[in-house]
A and B are shown apart, each in its own frame.
Chain A
Amino acid sequence: MNDQEHLKTLADIKNLMERASKFISLSGLSGIFIGFYALAGAAAAAWYVNSYNYKLTSYYYPVVSTDGALAGSFLNFFLVDSLAVLTLSLLTGYVFTHRLAKKQGFMRWDTTAKRMLINLLIPLATGGLFCLVLAHHHQAGLVAPSMLLFYGLSLLNASKYTHNELRTLGILEIILGLISAMHVEYGLIFWALGFGVLHIIYGITMYYRYER
């Protein structure tokens, strides 16, 4: 073996280790759809708030339950709304990822996929439960920032096991979450930016880079 061959061997090994440790079939295209679901969900929430003649600016402050009944019904609506967005998003993500994996020539719903998912889900589930706790304590204003923050941290954690772009998305979500925590009255708008607009941009980027 000469130099060139040794170099190539080392490059091959590096490449193989990377491919073997990362789940590269995570669909970016689904990100675009997920972004639109989130925008629709946010629009529905805004419509609900308006239809009760509540200004978002006043409503989105921590609810100290001066009007307990309505606070409860708003939280219930928001829960159903966000669960619908979440379910649709997970379904779309699963279907598109499955399709992409097939197209790339392997159905590796195996170690790499599982490792990425579990590292995504642990902080994400923690965040979900924490948001329910916030709602329980009538801190509705902090729900949107917390969702952004925990989602960003989850992405950051999962990004070690997939494309690096997910890391950037995670960091952007965290920044957005922190800013929105300082401006709780605009929670819904930040939420739409983070889960809607950022997903769409991310999806388009990933689609053009890896999936065409």
Chain B
Amino acid sequence: MKEFILGLNREFESRVRLGIMSVLMVNEKAEFKTLRELLDLTDGNLASHLSALEKAGYIKVKKQFIDRKPNTTYSATKDGKKAFSEHLNLLEKFLKTQ
């Protein structure tokens, strides 16, 4: 039990972060507004979780201009994908042993 808690990734404690990672696992990249619609969040809330994940090195941010409008896309890094899979495996294992 203790081992399980230690193993769980603290960066993924929040549902929102798990949600962001889920979307980025199945999409190569996603725009800010796509994430906002899928997760049903406010701009501020989403932005703070995104920057936390970026700081952890789990997602990459790409800012560019399309037709002179700013456009920000996010994608999961290799580390992020690995960490997310491990987190899911652990959750699953934990549920099975219960």
**A residues adjacent to B (C-beta < 8 A):** 3, 6-7, 9-10, 12-13, 16-17, 19-21, 105-106, 108, 110-112
A131 to B18, CA, bound (A): 48
Chain B binding surface SS class: helix
Specify the chain A residue showing the minimal Cβ separation from B38: A20
Tell me if B22 and A111 are in contact (CB < 8 A): no
CB within 8 Å for A17 and B34 given contacts A6-B94, A10-B88, A10-B92: no
Tell me if A20 and B92 are in contact (CB < 8 A): no
A17 to B22, CA, bound (A): 6
Q: Which of A3, A6, A111 contacts B28 (CB 8 A)?
A: A111
A106 to B18, CA, bound (A): 21
- Cβ of B27: which chain A residues have Cβ within 8 Å of it? 20-21, 111-112
Sample 17 A-B pairs with CB under 8 A, ordered by A number: A9-B18, A10-B88, A12-B15, A12-B19, A13-B18, A13-B22, A19-B38, A20-B23, A20-B26, A20-B30, A20-B38, A21-B26, A105-B37, A108-B37, A111-B27, A111-B29, A111-B30
- Cβ of B92: which chain A residues have Cβ within 8 Å of it? 10
A-B contact sample (4 more), CB < 8 A, given A7-B95, A20-B23, A108-B34:
A6-B94, A20-B30, A106-B37, A111-B34
- Cβ of B91: which chain A residues have Cβ within 8 Å of it? 6, 9-10
A42 to B29, CA, bound (A): 43
Specify the chain A residue showing the minimal Cβ separation from B29: A111
Residue interface mask B11-45, A partner, CB < 8 A = 1: 00001001100110111111100100111000000
The B25-82 residues at the A interface (CB cut-off 8 A) are 25-31, 34, 37-39
CB within 8 Å for A13 and B88 given contacts A108-B37, A110-B34: yes
A20 to B25, CA, bound (A): 9
A108 to B27, CA, bound (A): 13
Specify the chain A residue showing the minimal Cβ separation from B12: A9
CB within 8 Å for A17 and B23 given contacts A9-B15, A10-B88, A110-B34: yes
B14 to A: closest C-beta gap in Å: 11
A6 to B: closest C-beta gap in Å: 6
A20 to B27, CA, bound (A): 7
A142 to B: closest C-beta gap in Å: 39
A112 to B27, CA, bound (A): 8
Specify the chain A residue showing the minimal Cβ separation from B19: A16
Q: Which of A3, A17, A105, A106 contacts B25 (CB 8 A)?
A: A17
**7 shortest interchain CB distances as A-B pairs:** A21-B26, A20-B23, A16-B22, A106-B37, A13-B22, A17-B26, A17-B22
B21 to A: closest C-beta gap in Å: 8
